[in-house]
Amino acid sequence: MSLQVENLTVYYQTLRGEVRALEEATFGVADGEIMGLAGESGCGKSTLANSLIRLSLPMKLIKGRVLLDGEELPIADMERMNPFRFERISIIPQYAMNALNPTRKIGKMIAELLRSRQVDGAGFLPELKRRLDLVELSHEVLDMYPIELSGGMKQRVVMLISTLLNPSLLLADEITSALDVSSQKAVAEMLVSFRDREFVRSLIVITHDISILYQIADSILIMYAGQLAEKAPTEAIVHAPRHPYTRLLISSLPQVGVKYAEKRLTGIPGTPPMLLDPPAGCRFRERCPLAFEKCLQVPPFIQVDPGHFVACWKEFETDAQA
């Protein structure tokens, strides 16, 4: 296991109280695994990613621990996390297009960043150039300022910088959502090639777009309203989901070849609960067609098939009967 997350619970502190953005997250990411993390806005997927690398105010760690290659990460301590960041765990942030210092040439910024890690920039240059080729950027980019690059190019520069020191785990936070379909594909494939070339050992790819994950991820973790709903190999999530939320979600996605006139898809009635004061138990309960009294308790996140975890009482019930 490359990454092991245990009972991670993170709240946001706001004026009106604690927003319970992430509850009891327990899961693992294996060596070489690309794990997709999907869910609707506000489901806690970005909170999860951020708390693994930059847990800063107003986020607050309530409990839980995170192990990376067997070593515990001091995630709540901004200073003590520094040696781990970039070298062991790294992130391509959501705001990648604005993540570069506007007044520094790309090459200079990289050199300064590397120097702060006691890495010799000049000696690193050949490797840097090799990686530029890989993300399909010309070497001249090093001598340019961020505003001279297009949005997609800036994002690729950030992808390259974040993986320079070959971290064990890379978090990619919604990096395809602002892109056109054609660049989406290129970027998603680059992530896979990063893993294949062992620039990064494992990846967590956060997105709201499950079809992107279907293309590149080995497994998918579905979150709903701050709770983990289901984690399974990609094919299982897409073709044999077991959590009612996943099932309804997948069946509501329009596909090329599906026409309104022929097959009318339906969404999930209702809206996600407010996390300021969430309902007890399973948070999908109010929208779930299968909900019953047991759902007033929080369902555990249990393995039902090899590599297939679900948090749903109904699932456990049918399993027990079978």
CB 23 within 8 A of CB 37: no
| Sign, CA torsion 94/95/97/102 | negative
Stretch 73-102: interaction string toward other proteins, x if CB under 8 A: -----x--xxxxxxx--xx-x-x--xxxxx
CB 187 within 8 A of CB 159: yes
Residue with tokens 């407010």: 274
Q: Is 134 helix (H, G, I), strand (E, B) or coil?
A: helix
Pick the piece of the chain touching other proteins (CB under 8 A) from 2-10, 28-36, 62-70, 110-118: 110-118
- Count the site residues for other proteins by CB under 8 A: 78
Residue 19 binds other proteins, judged by CB under 8 A? yes
User: Cα(234)–Cα(26) distance, rounded to whole angstroms?
Assistant: 19
- Minimum CB distance to other proteins smaller for 64 or for 93: 93
Task: Name the minimum Å distance from CB 164 to other proteins.
Answer: 9
User: Cα(207)–Cα(36) distance, rounded to whole angstroms?
Assistant: 7
E runs forming strands in the chain: 3-14, 17-29, 34-38, 59-68, 71-72, 89-92, 169-173, 202-207, 219-224, 227-233, 302-305, 308-310
- Minimum CB distance to other proteins smaller for 112 or for 120: 112
Residue 7 binds other proteins, judged by CB under 8 A? no
Residue 161 binds other proteins, judged by CB under 8 A? yes
With CB under 8 A as the contact rule, the residue among 29, 37, 53, 153 that binds other proteins is 53
- Minimum CB distance to other proteins smaller for 252 or for 297: 252
Task: Name the minimum Å distance from CB 116 to other proteins.
Answer: 5
- Contacts made by residues 292-299, CB under 8 angstroms, sequence distance 24+: 298/23, 298/24, 298/227
- Minimum CB distance to other proteins smaller for 8 or for 114: 114
**End-to-end Cα spacing for the chain:** 31
Task: Name the minimum Å distance from CB 319 to other proteins.
Answer: 26
236-265 positions binding other proteins, by CB under 8 A: 238, 248-250, 252-260, 264-265
Residue 41 binds other proteins, judged by CB under 8 A? yes
- Minimum CB distance to other proteins smaller for 211 or for 318: 211
Task: Name the minimum Å distance from CB 285 to other proteins.
Answer: 15
162-221 positions binding other proteins, by CB under 8 A: 162, 180-182, 184-185, 188-189, 208-212, 214-215
With CB under 8 A as the contact rule, the residue among 104, 107, 290, 304 that binds other proteins is 104
- Dump the DSSP string for 210-246: HHHHHHH-SEEEEEETTEEEEEEEHHHHHHS--SHHH
Pairing of strands 308-310, 302-305: antiparallel
Bridge-partner residues for 72, per DSSP? 67
Pick the piece of the chain touching other proteins (CB under 8 A) from 38-46, 63-71, 131-139, 196-204: 38-46
113-142 positions binding other proteins, by CB under 8 A: 113, 116
Omega within 30 of 0 (cis) for the link into 306: no
Pick the piece of the chain touching other proteins (CB under 8 A) from 9-17, 61-69, 124-132, 292-300: 9-17
With CB under 8 A as the contact rule, the residue among 274, 280, 296, 302 that binds other proteins is 274
User: Cα(285)–Cα(296) distance, rounded to whole angstroms?
Assistant: 8
With CB under 8 A as the contact rule, the residue among 8, 111, 158, 203 that binds other proteins is 158
With CB under 8 A as the contact rule, the residue among 271, 289, 306, 320 that binds other proteins is 271
